[in-house]
C-alpha cells in the first residue's frame, strides 16, 4: 500500500508545489497583480490553445477520441450541474445561487486536471485530457453563463451572446482547429512544431503559479457556510457520485483515472472572472476557489489512493 501513496504524491506534489510557489512569489513581491493578469491572459489566449492544438495534432485520435468516454463525461457534467442547482434552490438564497452552482460544478480541468492526467498517464493522459478539455470548455462556459444569467442582476439569458462567447473562446478554437490536422494527418514543419512546443510548455507552470498568486488567506477567514457547502459539493460529493457512476458504467484503468481527476479538480479561477463580469458575488466565488484549491491537495490524493487500492485505476 505504501507504493500507492508514493505514486499518488509523485503525481500531485509537483502540481500543488507550483500552486504554493505562486503564493510565495506573490508574498515576497517578485510577482504582482499586473503580472498575474498579463500572464493569465497569455495562458488563456496563447499558450494553452497552442498546447491543446499540439497535443491533439500529435494524438492518435483513434485512441484519444473515445465516444463512450466523452459521452459519459458530458452526461455526468450535466447531471452534477443539475444536482448542484437543485441543492442551491433548496438551501441557498436566490442571489447566491448562480455563484454557488458555478463553484460546485466548474472544475479547473484545463490546468489542474490536465496537468495531473499528463503526469499520471503520460502522452495518453495529455491527449485524452486535451480532447476532454475541449468538451469541458464548451460545457462549462455554456452552463455557467446560463446559471449566472438566471440569478445575477448584471446578466441576461441571451442565447446569442452565450453562443458568441463560446465560438470566440481561444481554447475552443485551439481544439477545433487541430482536429482536421490530426484527422487527415497533416504535418507541420519541424521548426514550427519545435517553436510551438517551446511556447506551449510555459502553459502549466505559468498558469499554476498565477492561480497560487491569487490565493488569499483573508478570503478564507471571510468564508461563509455557503462557500464551504459549495466547496464540499465540488471536492467530495459530486466527484464521488460521478466516479462511482463511471465505475458502474464499466470504466477502468486510465479512463476512470482521468475522469476522476477531471471531476475532482478544484473550482476554476475563471468562475471568479465570470461572476465579477455579471455583478454577482465575486467575493464568494473567490472564497470557493481558495477553499477547493487547498482541499484538492488532500481530496485528490485520497481519491487516487482509494482507487489505486481498489485496483480500479
Instruction: Give residue 219's pLDDT band: very low, low, confident or very high (50, 70, 90).
Output: low
Name which of 144, 146, 168, 142 is nearest 157 in CA terms: 146
pLDDT digits (tens, 9 = 90+) for 166-217: 777 787 788 888 888 877 888 889 999 999 999 999 988 888 888 788 777 6
pLDDT digits (tens, 9 = 90+) for 247-298: 999 999 999 999 999 999 999 877 887 787 778 887 788 889 888 888 888 8
Answer whether residue 37 is part of any domain.
Answer: yes
Residue 303, C-beta contacts closer than 8 angstroms, at least 6 positions apart: 239, 243, 260, 264
Answer whether residue 68 is part of any domain.
Answer: yes
The total number of structural domains in the chain stands at 1
Q: What is the CA radius of gyration of the chain?
A: 19
Answer whether residue 296 is part of any domain.
Answer: yes
pLDDT reading at 29 higher than 50: yes
**Which residues form the domain of 266?**
2-308
Entry pTM:
0.79
Answer whether residue 171 is part of any domain.
Answer: yes
CATH number at 86 reads: 1.20.1530.20
Answer whether residue 55 is part of any domain.
Answer: yes
Answer whether residue 313 is part of any domain.
Answer: no
Amino acid at each position: 500500500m505504501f507504493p500507492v501513496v508514493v505514486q499518488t504524491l509523485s503525481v500531485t506534489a509537483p502540481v500543488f508545489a507550483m500552486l504554493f510557489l505562486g503564493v510565495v512569489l506573490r508574498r515576497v513581491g517578485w510577482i504582482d497583480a499586473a503580472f498575474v493578469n498579463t500572464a493569465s491572459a497569455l495562458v488563456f489566449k496563447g499558450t494553452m490553445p497552442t498546447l491543446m492544438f499540439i497535443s491533439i495534432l500529435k494524438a492518435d485520435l483513434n485512441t484519444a477520441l473515445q465516444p463512450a468516454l466523452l459521452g459519459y463525461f458530458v452526461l455526468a457534467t450535466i447531471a452534477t450541474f443539475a444536482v448542484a442547482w437543485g441543492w442551491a434552490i433548496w438551501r441557498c438564497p436566490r442571489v447566491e445561487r448562480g455563484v454557488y452552482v458555478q463553484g460546485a460544478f466548474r472544475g479547473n480541468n484545463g490546468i489542474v486536471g490536465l496537468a495531473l492526467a499528463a503526469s499520471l498517464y503520460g502522452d495518453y493522459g495529455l491527449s485524452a485530457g486535451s480532447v476532454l478539455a475541449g468538451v469541458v470548455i464548451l460545457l462549462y462556459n455554456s452552463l455557467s453563463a446560463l446559471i449566472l444569467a438566471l440569478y445575477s442582476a448584471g446578466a441576461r439569458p441571451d442565447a446569442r451572446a452565450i453562443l458568441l462567447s463560446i465560438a470566440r473562446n481561444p481554447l475552443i478554437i485551439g481544439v477545433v482547429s487541430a482536429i482536421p490536422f490530426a484527422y487527415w494527418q497533416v504535418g507541420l514543419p519541424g521548426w514550427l512544431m519545435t517553436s510551438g512546443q517551446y511556447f506551449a510548455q510555459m502553459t502549466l507552470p505559468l498558469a499554476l503559479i498565477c492561480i497560487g498568486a491569487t490565493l488569499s488567506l483573508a478570503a478564507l477567514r471571510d468564508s461563509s457556510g455557503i462557500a464551504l457547502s459549495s466547496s464540499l459539493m465540488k471536492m467530495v460529493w459530486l466527484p464521488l457520485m460521478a466516479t462511482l457512476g463511471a465505475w458502474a458504467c464499466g470504466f477502468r484503468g486510465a479512463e476512470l483515472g482521468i475522469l476522476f481527476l477531471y471531476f475532482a479538480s478544484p473550482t476554476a479561477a475563471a468562475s471568479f472572472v465570470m461572476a465579477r463580469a455579471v455583478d454577482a458575488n465575486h467575493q464568494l466565488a473567490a472564497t470557493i476557489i481558495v477553499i477547493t484549491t487547498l482541499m484538492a491537495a488532500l481530496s485528490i490524493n485520497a481519491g487516487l489512493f482509494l482507487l489505486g487500492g481498489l485496483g480500479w485505476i
